[in-house]
Amino acid sequence: MGAALAGLVFSVGRDRRRHNPLLPGKGPGAGQPTIDAAKSLGLQCDSGEKDNVPSGLYQWHCRGTEAHPALTMLVSGNDEGVAEIDVITPTGDTDRLRIAIGAVARTVPPMSSLDGLATELDRQLVDWDGAQTIVGSRGLRVSLLCDEPSQFGEGQCMAFVVGPDPIKPMLP
């Protein structure tokens, strides 16, 4: 009886540790195709970490390498899928961000699953001057902004791509 009770206590304790949301762990597998595609663009990505807000999302940081230094990508998601993709370029050059968004839209799921999305976004941004704006296509919302160069650097341009609900998968 004592051995059986000890085995039960060990089993319950082990199961509790496995499901404890406070223990560190890698991000959910639903984001892996997105991370793999980011790596194919020459980015280096971490293994994902909880974003420390009540959304329950994980966030992966993908940074440029020598192959593609002018791009950073942040991916947020959970077991259901990818909720947000942020594309950041290290200068205030709107054309560089347009090119980066196009590369991400053509290569990185779930955005790459929408045929022609890169072309549609490029058409909407061809005359964009860097001022804060929001464009949309096929249920996705893209918020854009470029910071001007300052004493801290050359500025940066950012695009935040989300679906209708910012904590749900961007595409069903």
In angstroms, rounded to a whole number, what is the distance separating the alpha carbons of residues 72 and 19?
Answer: 32
- The answer to whether 146 and 87 have CB atoms below 8 angstroms apart is no
What's the confidence (pLDDT) of residue 91? 87
pLDDT at 150 over 90: no
Mean pLDDT is lowest, of 15-19, 28-32, 58-62, 151-155, for 15-19
The neighbour count for residue 74, using CB atoms within 10 Å, is 19
pLDDT higher at 163 or 28: 163
- Give residue 17's pLDDT: 34
Res 151: pLDDT = 75
Residue with token string 């077991």: 79
pTM of the full predicted structure? 0.81
pLDDT of 34 strictly over 90:
yes
Beta strands in the chain (DSSP E): 43-45, 49-50, 58-64, 72-78, 81-89, 133-137, 140-147, 156-162
